[in-house]
């Protein structure tokens, strides 16, 4: 049995007053909810942006009433210009990847439940924790400001490739102050995430309660811990990249801009920089980033499924080791985003091998889920439906990754809708399903009230069918050559694909509208939901051993003692069909 630590957490005083309780709170639970609220705000903005994009693709000459008020340059008379389409696309990607997918499943649920699941009273550094949220919030405000400047947001995509992102206004609208605001926002975001990741790691290593060995931590805690380890290293590399980009833009340096570049008939006064350097630095961060987006969802789904199946996974240990392998391998695959960038084609082979290898632990996890589900009498509720939906989406979206991992196929598919379909299914749907599953599962604990099950199931089915309708056709579009990041296809060889785009757009509007069922459910249940018991799902991990919602100091000053892993379901001879993690009731240790 591994050594565990039983140290007293640095307990802060009980919060007094509205500001300390709800605004500048040191309580990890409040901070988690703040991150979640920020993620919810960002996803709603991102969703509206996607509606604008889909609308424009199908009806490029149509007016969006009122849009000219937001941007006279970008949408004169309400008609989205091609450049503004790229601005919307950039902000959609930036908001979704950074402020939704890195926030909600990791910083949101992780902040709330990691200390509780390991039996701690709070994070290791509550003040850093508070700072990390408010720093992230400032980053959000700086990014949103880009909408309101005259030139609008940048047009370089969430990937901000140099030299487009580095040369400034000569290359197009939004690349002056829009790009600056983007760079500053993301740099600030990196600092917030570094503070958060530091907290997660220190807390997991130092503040586990008595009996909580590393292998007795729930899968969700492991997922947050591994994500924090990845995040620490990834954001530590993105921050220098953003700094160098900002310097290239504003200080005349030439880290990324080569010599002899003529943009808009103007020779750029830079020399010797390498656009490939930006891509290397960005994707060295960018690939681990997508695992930051998916791993917490995998942990949450594992956790929810075990509770719903009333039996443990075939091997929780192998799931944990697989998540670790994914985390480790994520560092050596970044070049698969750069197969056609002009880098040495031999290095493409070096990146292709580990990319295909990383599918192995991902497949192992999926097979364990499916194998565990076989023969299980699963309790169907909104949380478990989204967990099951996650598996479906993860497989559907992940399979296209096998194709993209091979340079020979990627030469054709790069920058087509095939790629867009792939990452939307794994990140934009599967990871979001993980967030939904976590929300339906943990809402009773966080709010002390139950969510409406009927609305939850309706939300699931509409979203499940709707997202398949939106994103499966993307793969077909990509295969026939539909290029991505184009604002219009009506006048070229892609014009015959317009009926498919119309179908996608209508599906997007309906699926988007269905999300308001969730929003309504969330808000209404918060105030009027049925009061929730401490353990509505008869689950075993430590969060279910405390009242709903938990008191400010979690375990009331006491330290729970943990006797076994959190997946003791269907235990012979136990009272009920489960044994709580802090129950000394004897079980057969694995």
Partner 1 sequence: MSTTTFPSPPSTAPPLPPNGSGAKVAGTRPRPGGHGQSGVWVGIFAITMSFAAFTSALFVRQGSGDWIHVVVPRLLYVNTAVLLLSSITLEMARRAFMNSSALDSGALRNNTLRWLGITLVFGFAFVVGQYMVWRQLAAQGLYLATNSNSSFLYVLTAAHALHVLGGITGLVRLSARLTPRQITLRSSSFANTAIYWHFMGVLWIYLLLVISIRL
Q: How far apart are CA 393 and CA 384, in angstroms?
A: 14
Interface stretch with partner 1, choices 34-42, 267-275, 341-349, 508-516 (CB under 8 A): 267-275
For partner 1, the binding residues in 33-52 under the rule CB under 8 A are none
| Residue 449 binds partner 1, judged by CB under 8 A | yes
Q: Indicate the residue among 241 and 319 with the shorter CB distance to partner 1.
A: 241
Cα–Cα distance, 235 to 237 (Å, whole number) = 5
Touching partner 1, residues 125-154 (CB under 8 A): 125
- Which residue lies nearer to partner 1 by CB, 342 or 547? 547
For residue 565, how far is the Cα from the chain centroid?
27
- Among 37, 149, 237, 324, which residue interacts with partner 1 (rule: CB under 8 A)? 237
CB 137 within 8 A of CB 39: no
For 105-152, the DSSP string reads IIIIHHHHHHHHHTT-SS-S-HHHHHHHHHHHHHHHHHHHHTTTSTT-
Site residues for partner 1, window 494-513 (CB under 8 A)?
Answer: none
Write down the least CB distance from residue 437 to partner 1, Å. Answer: 23
Answer for which of 53, 124, 306, 517 binds partner 1 (CB under 8 A) is 124
DSSP code, position 337: G
- In contact, 96 and 2? CB cutoff 8 Å: no
* 197 binds partner 1 per the rule CB under 8 A: yes
Cross-strand bridge partners of residue 569: 578
Separation between Cα atoms, residue 232 and residue 474, nearest integer Å = 33
> Among the candidate windows 20-28, 102-110, 240-248, 477-485, which touches partner 1 by CB under 8 A?
240-248
The three-state DSSP-derived secondary structure of 52-67 is HHHHHHHCCCCCCCCH
CA distances from 119 to 4, 33, 113, 312, 584 (A): 12, 19, 10, 21, 15
> By CB under 8 A, is residue 55 in contact with partner 1?
no
Q: Residues in contact with partner 1, total (CB under 8 A)?
A: 66
Q: Is 479 helix (H, G, I), strand (E, B) or coil?
A: helix
Nearer to partner 1, 83 or 543 (CB): 543
Place of tokens 């901070």: 31
Q: Is position 60 an interface residue for partner 1 (rule: CB under 8 A)?
A: no
**Dihedral (C-alpha) 364, 367, 371, 374: value to the nearest 10 degrees?**
160
342 near partner 1 (CB under 8 A): no
The yes or no reply on residue 557 touching partner 1 (CB under 8 A) is yes
Print the SS3 string covering 514-575.
HHHHHHHHHHHHHHHCCECCCCCCCCCCHHHHCCCCCCCCCCCCCCCCCCCCCCCECCCCCC
Q: Which range of residues in 48-56, 80-88, 203-211, 361-369 is near partner 1 by CB under 8 A?
A: 203-211
Decide whether 67 or 447 has the Cβ nearer to partner 1. 447
Q: Taking CB under 8 A as the rule, does residue 255 contact partner 1? A: yes
Binding string, residues 570-589; x marks residues near partner 1 by CB under 8 A = ----------x-x-x-----
Site for partner 1 in 522-551 (CB under 8 A): 526-527, 531, 533-534, 545-549
Q: Binding to partner 1 by residue 158, rule CB under 8 A?
A: no
Q: How far apart are CA 498 and CA 378, in angstroms?
A: 42
- Interface pick for partner 1 out of 53, 207, 306, 358 (rule CB under 8 A): 207
Report the site for partner 1 in 277-296 (rule: CB under 8 A): 277, 280-281, 284
**Using CB under 8 A as the criterion, which residues of the chain lie in contact with partner 1 when the complex forms?**
5, 7-8, 10, 124-125, 194, 197-199, 201-202, 205-207, 209-210, 232-233, 235-237, 239-241, 243-244, 247, 251-255, 259, 271-274, 276-277, 280-281, 284, 447-449, 526-527, 531, 533-534, 545-549, 555-561, 580, 582, 584
């Amino acid at each position: 049995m591994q050594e565990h630590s039983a140290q007293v957490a640095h307990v802060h005083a009980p919060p007094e007053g509205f500001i300390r309780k709800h605004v500048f709170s040191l309580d990890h639970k409040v901070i988690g909810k703040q991150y979640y609220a920020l993620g919810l705000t960002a996803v709603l903005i991102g969703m509206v942006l996607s509606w604008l994009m889909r609308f424009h693709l199908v009806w490029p000459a149509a007016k969006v009433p009122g849009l000219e008020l937001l941007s006279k340059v970008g949408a004169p008379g309400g008609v989205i210009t091609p450049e503004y389409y790229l601005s919307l696309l950039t902000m959609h990607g930036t908001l979704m990847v950074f402020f939704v997918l890195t926030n909600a499943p990791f910083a949101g649920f992780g902040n709330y439940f990691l200390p509780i699941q390991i039996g701690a009273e709070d994070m290791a550094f509550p003040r850093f924790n508070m700072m990390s949220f408010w720093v992230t919030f400032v980053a959000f405000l700086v990014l949103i400001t880009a909408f309101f400047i005259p030139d609008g947001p940048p047009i370089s995509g969430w990937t901000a490739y140099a030299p487009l992102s580095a040369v400034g206004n000569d290359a197009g609208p939004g690349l002056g102050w829009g790009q600056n605001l983007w760079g500053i926002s993301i740099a600030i975001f990196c600092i917030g995430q570094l503070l958060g990741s530091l907290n997660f790691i220190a807390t997991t290593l130092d503040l586990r309660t008595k009996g909580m060995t590393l292998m007795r931590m729930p899968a969700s805690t492991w997922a947050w811990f591994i994500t924090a380890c990845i995040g620490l290293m990834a954001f530590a590399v993105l921050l220098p990249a953003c700094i160098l980009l900002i310097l290239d833009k504003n200080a005349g340096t030439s880290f990324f801009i080569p010599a002899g570049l003529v943009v808009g008939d103007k020779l750029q006064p830079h020399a010797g920089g390498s656009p490939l350097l930006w891509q290397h630095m960005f994707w060295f961060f960018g690939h681990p980033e997508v695992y930051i987006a998916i791993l917490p969802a995998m942990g949450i789904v594992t956790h929810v499924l075990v509770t719903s199946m009333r039996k443990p996974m075939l091997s929780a240990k192998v799931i944990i080791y697989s998540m670790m392998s994914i985390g480790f391998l994520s560092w050596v695959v970044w070049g698969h985003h750069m197969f056609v960038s002009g880098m040495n084609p031999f290095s493409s082979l070096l990146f292709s091998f580990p990319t295909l290898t990383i599918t192995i632990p991902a497949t192992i996890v999926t097979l364990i889920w499916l194998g565990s589900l076989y023969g299980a009498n699963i309790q169907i509720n909104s949380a478990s439906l989204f967990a099951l939906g996650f598996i479906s989406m993860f497989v559907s979206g992940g399979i296209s990754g096998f194709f993209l991992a091979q340079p020979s196929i990627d030469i054709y598919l790069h920058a087509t809708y095939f790629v867009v379909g792939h990452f939307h299914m794994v990140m934009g749907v599967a990871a979001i399903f993980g967030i939904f599953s976590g929300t339906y599962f943990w809402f009773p604990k966080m709010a002390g009230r139950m969510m409406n099950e009927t609305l939850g199931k309706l939300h699931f089915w509409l979203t499940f069918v709707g997202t398949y309708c939106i994103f499966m056709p993307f793969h077909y579009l990509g295969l026939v050559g539909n290029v991505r990041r184009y604002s219009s296809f009506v006048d070229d060889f892609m014009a015959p694909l317009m009926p498919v785009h119309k179908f996608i757009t209508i599906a997007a509007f309906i699926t988007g509208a269905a999300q308001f069922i969730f929003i309504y459910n969330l808000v209404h249940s918060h105030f009027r939901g049925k009061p929730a018991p401490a353990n509505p799902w008869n689950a075993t991990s430590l969060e279910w051993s405390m009242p709903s919602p938990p008191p400010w100091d979690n375990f009331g000053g006491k330290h729970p003692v943990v006797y076994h892993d959190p997946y003791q379901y269907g235990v012979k001879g136990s009272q009920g069909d489960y044994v709580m993690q802090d129950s000394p009731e004897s079980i057969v240790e694995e």
